[in-house]
Structure 1
Amino acid sequence: MKVLGLLLFGLLGLCSAQDKRVLVLLENMAVKETHSIYFSMLQRNGFALTYKVADDPTIVIKKYDEFIYENIIVFAPTVEEFGGALSAETMMEFVDRGGNLLVTAGSVTGDVLREIASESGFEVDEDNTYVIDHHNFDAAKDSGYHIRVVASPENLVKSDIIVGTAGKLPLLYQGTGLLTDPSNPLVIDILTGATTAYTHNPQQPIKEYPHTVGKSTVMIAGLQARNNARIVFSGSLEFFSDEFFQAEIQTGNGKPVPSGNFELAEALSLWCFKERGVLRVDGIQHSKLGEGSAPEFYTIREMVQFYIDVKEKVNGEWVPYQAKDMQVEFVRIDPFVRANMQVSKGGLIGAKFKIPDVYGVYQFKINYHRLGLTRIATSTQVSVRPLRHNQYERFIPSAYPYYASAFSMMFGVFVFSFVFLYHSDETKKKTE
Structure 2
Amino acid sequence: MRLAILLFGLLAAATADRILLLVEDQAVKDSHSIFIKSLTDRGHKLSIRTADEPTLALFKHGELAYQHLIVFAPGVEDFGGSLSAKEIGRFVDAGGNLLVAASSNIGEAIRDLATETGFEFDEADTALIDHFNYDSKLDNGQHTTLVADKSQFMNARLITGDTANMNPVLFKGVALISDKTNLLKLEAVRAKSTAYSFNPDQAISEYPSAVGKQALLVGALQARNNARVVLTGSLAMFSNEYINAQVTKEGQKPVPSGNLAFVTALSKWVLKESGVLRVKSVEHHKVGEKKPTEYTIMDEVEYAITIEELTDGKWGPFQGKDVQLEFVRIDPFVRTTLKNTNGRLTAKFKLPDVYGVYKFMVDYRRIGYTHLYDVQQLSVRPLWHTQYERFIRSAYPYYASAFSMMIGVVLFSIVFLYHKDSPQTQATQAAAKKKD
What is the Cα deviation at residue 371 of structure 1?
0.8
| Residue in 1 that maps onto 2:372 | 376
What is the Cα deviation at residue 8 of structure 1?
7.6
Runs of 4 or more, structure 1, over 3 Å off, are 2-12, 424-432
> Which of 4, 16, 19 pairs up with 1:22?
19
User: What SS does structure 1 have at the residue aligned with 2:221?
Assistant: strand
Letter in 1 for 2:395: A
Cα deviations by residue, 1:89-142 (Å, 9 ceiling, x for unpaired): 211111111111100111132222222211211111111111100000111121
| Residue in 2 that maps onto 1:416 | 412
| Residue in 2 that maps onto 1:333 | 330
| Residue in 1 that maps onto 2:230 | 232
| Residue in 2 that maps onto 1:163 | 160
Please tell me whether Structure 1 or Structure 2 has the larger radius of gyration of its CA atoms.
2
Supply the distance in 2 between the matched residues of 1:369 and 1:362 (Cα, whole angstroms): 22
Cα deviations by residue, 1:202-246 (Å, 9 ceiling, x for unpaired): 122223221111111101111111111101101011111111111
Supply the distance in 2 between the matched residues of 1:253 and 1:149 (Cα, whole angstroms): 15
Letter in 1 for 2:318: Y
Cα deviations by residue, 1:151-173 (Å, 9 ceiling, x for unpaired): 11221111111122344211111
Within-5 A mapping of 1:282-301: 282-295=280-293, 297-301=294-298
What is the Cα deviation at residue 298 of structure 1?
1.7
Cα deviations by residue, 1:347-376 (Å, 9 ceiling, x for unpaired): 311211111111111111111001101011
TM score, norm. by length of structure 1? 0.94
What is the Cα deviation at residue 29 of structure 1?
0.7
Supply the distance in 2 between the matched residues of 1:74 and 1:332 (Cα, whole angstroms): 46
Supply the distance in 2 between the matched residues of 1:155 and 1:270 (Cα, whole angstroms): 20
Q: What is the RMSD computed on CA atoms of the aligned residues? A: 2.0
CA distance 1:4–1:385, shift in 2 (3 Å):
farther
Letter in 1 for 2:375: S
Supply the distance in 1 between the matched residues of 2:411 and 2:112 (Cα, whole angstroms): 96
> For the Cα contact (< 8 Å) 1:157–1:190, is it kept in 2?
yes
> Which of 389, 393, 411 pairs up with 2:389?
393
> Which of 206, 209, 218 pairs up with 2:207?
209
> Which of 343, 348, 351 pairs up with 2:347?
351
What is the Cα deviation at residue 184 of structure 1?
2.8
Ranges in structure 1 where 5+ consecutive residues have no aligned partner: none
Ranges in structure 2 where 5+ consecutive residues have no aligned partner: 431-436
Greater CA drift, 2-11 or 330-339:
2-11
Letter in 2 for 1:351: A
| Residue in 2 that maps onto 1:13 | 12
Letter in 2 for 1:390: T
| Residue in 2 that maps onto 1:66 | 63
Greater CA drift, 221-230 or 113-122:
113-122
What is the Cα deviation at residue 304 of structure 1?
1.4
Greater CA drift, 77-86 or 397-406:
397-406
| Residue in 1 that maps onto 2:32 | 35
Letter in 1 for 2:171: Y
Within-5 A mapping of 1:84-99: 84-99=81-96
| Residue in 1 that maps onto 2:357 | 361
TM score, norm. by length of structure 2? 0.93
Cα deviations by residue, 1:34-68 (Å, 9 ceiling, x for unpaired): 11111011111111110100000121322111112
Cα deviations by residue, 1:317-356 (Å, 9 ceiling, x for unpaired): 10111121011111111111111111136x3112111111
Supply the distance in 1 between the matched residues of 2:111 and 2:330 (Cα, whole angstroms): 42
CA distance 1:344–1:420, shift in 2 (3 Å):
farther
Letter in 1 for 2:419: H
Supply the distance in 2 between the matched residues of 1:3 and 1:236 (Cα, whole angstroms): 46
> For the Cα contact (< 8 Å) 2:102–2:234, is it kept in 1?
yes
CA distance 1:73–1:254, shift in 2 (3 Å):
same
Supply the distance in 1 between the matched residues of 2:414 and 2:6 (Cα, whole angstroms): 98
Identical aligned pairs, as a percentage?
Answer: 49
Q: State yes or no: 1:145 paired with 2:142.
A: yes
**How many residues were matched structurally?**
427
> For the Cα contact (< 8 Å) 2:189–2:217, is it kept in 1?
yes
